[in-house]
Structure 1
């Protein structure tokens, strides 16, 4: 069944006249007549009866008119949706990011993107670097914001920011008044760190080495927010990335470690760009804005 003939039939049935349908479709009247004849021959049924100058739709024609109208509307919607997806104005984007980058830097970027492109379905998850990289490799995520993925995953990685670990303390803590805080100063204090699979925990363990791990008593906490709350409540000190946003109500302070330089690069991990949709590429471009300098604590 020729889609153009079906469109011609719908116009004829709706307007009740072949000539009016020809004018609307900008066809020659003979073209309209030929298309209707071919459609009737293809279906083996008469779709119109002539009553003087009027064209009356038959019973079979009335049923086909309803179906054709619905089909043509659906096709129009499909065309528009495909066009919008190609332009990045529709479609879906699924990505994940590590904390605290997700809450401290990405939340505002994603909110702005969603307001500008309300028809794009954006799904943002928070996870660890290893999991993010593997899911990007498997195609479950369009891209991720994480530390550099292993070379074996064959992902593209674009560094955006360089994060440094610091020490989170209450401003009333004895160490908060020191000009310098060194790793050895943490001995005897309850030090709150993330779980072993977290890139920031890996960075901490690498920075202090086996000797430091023997001297400093660490307690594992699976959330930077919980670390923040525990420090504010007066229990221990936290090892966290240096974000001023983590300093709560002016009661906390994040200080650098004078004798250590624990630094990690965080950036965009993705498969090859041709595999990504326009909306995903547009959101990635917006995310690149976090690579600009931001005020840090310390």
Structure 2
């Protein structure tokens, strides 16, 4: 059955008049008549009883009208959903980010995006850079916010900002009054670090290995949140990215390293931009704007 013929038929039933249906659909009256005749021929039944210029729907026509109305509404909804997906107001986005970027920089961006586009189904994971890059490569994620992926994964990487490591200290710790902390100052202390697969742990290990060997006592902790609370409880010092959000007034402070300058680029990793949906592209733009004042000003203006 021709979709246009069904639409014409539904309008004829609604108006009880071919001419009024033609006016609504902006068809010539002869076009409406021809479409109804073809529909009746296709179905092998009469859908209307003609009475001069007016028409009365038959029993078969009444049944078809009910089904046609449901179908036309469904098609209308499909058209609207497709249009919304194309504009970024519907669809789905799957992304992942490393910590503490996810909580310290992206949480508010994600919340704003979801408030503006409530019909977009958004899933955000938190994990390590390597795992994120592999999931992007496998097509399990549209994009990730992480460190530069290995070249063998053949992913595009767009740097957004650089992160540096510092030492998280309890404000009552003797080193908390210093402007900078030397690696040698950590000797004899319990140093809380992330697991070996964490990019920040790798960054620290690379930096510390490039200096004069220092005997340090390490404890591996799988969460910056836990490190934060352990330091607050006056147990050890933490090696963390320098985020003010990890500090707590009167309780915790982050001091830069004096003799080391470990830094890592964090950015957007994606497989093929041409395959990204509009919602994913808009979210990436929002993330860029959140870390780039110039882009933020452009978005406002």
TM interval, short-chain normalised: over 0.9
SS of corresponding position for 1:77: helix
* Contiguous gaps of at least 5 residues in structure 2: 294-301
Structure 1 213/235 Cα, relative in aligned 2: closer, same or farther at 3 Å? farther
SS of corresponding position for 1:111: helix
Take 1:101 and 1:49, find their aligned partners in 2: how far apart are those partners? 70
TM normalised by structure 1 equals 0.94
Question: Match for residue 111 of structure 1?
Answer: 111
Q: Which moved more, 1:15-24 or 1:239-248?
A: 15-24
Correspondence list, 1:114-129, <5 A: 114-129=114-129
Take 1:212 and 1:134, find their aligned partners in 2: how far apart are those partners? 35
Following TM superposition, by how much is the alpha carbon of 1:66 offset from its aligned partner in structure 2, in angstroms?
Answer: 0.8
Take 1:131 and 1:178, find their aligned partners in 2: how far apart are those partners? 37
Contact 2:179/2:255 (CA < 8 Å) preserved in 1? no
Question: Match for residue 299 of structure 2?
Answer: none
Question: Match for residue 161 of structure 1?
Answer: 161
Following TM superposition, by how much is the alpha carbon of 1:121 offset from its aligned partner in structure 2, in angstroms?
Answer: 1.6
Alignment coverage as a number of residue pairs: 293
Following TM superposition, by how much is the alpha carbon of 1:47 offset from its aligned partner in structure 2, in angstroms?
Answer: 0.8
Take 1:274 and 1:4, find their aligned partners in 2: how far apart are those partners? 33
Following TM superposition, by how much is the alpha carbon of 1:42 offset from its aligned partner in structure 2, in angstroms?
Answer: 0.5
Following TM superposition, by how much is the alpha carbon of 1:52 offset from its aligned partner in structure 2, in angstroms?
Answer: 4.8
Q: Which moved more, 1:273-282 or 1:175-184?
A: 175-184
Take 1:213 and 1:260, find their aligned partners in 2: how far apart are those partners? 13
Contact 1:183/1:260 (CA < 8 Å) preserved in 2? yes
Question: Match for residue 196 of structure 1?
Answer: 196
Structure 1 230/212 Cα, relative in aligned 2: closer, same or farther at 3 Å? farther
Take 1:290 and 1:52, find their aligned partners in 2: how far apart are those partners? 68
Question: Match for residue 245 of structure 1?
Answer: 245
Take 2:142 and 2:156, find their aligned partners in 1: how far apart are those partners? 12
Question: Match for residue 133 of structure 2?
Answer: 133
Following TM superposition, by how much is the alpha carbon of 1:50 offset from its aligned partner in structure 2, in angstroms?
Answer: 2.3
TM normalised by structure 2 equals 0.93
Contact 2:18/2:54 (CA < 8 Å) preserved in 1? no
Question: Match for residue 209 of structure 2?
Answer: 209
Question: Match for residue 6 of structure 2?
Answer: 6
Structure 1 212/50 Cα, relative in aligned 2: closer, same or farther at 3 Å? farther
Question: Match for residue 187 of structure 1?
Answer: 187
Contact 1:163/1:241 (CA < 8 Å) preserved in 2? yes
Question: Match for residue 87 of structure 1?
Answer: 87
SS of corresponding position for 1:215: coil
Take 1:214 and 1:177, find their aligned partners in 2: how far apart are those partners? 23
Take 1:180 and 1:269, find their aligned partners in 2: how far apart are those partners? 33
Question: Match for residue 73 of structure 1?
Answer: 73
Question: Match for residue 284 of structure 2?
Answer: 284
Question: Match for residue 260 of structure 2?
Answer: 260
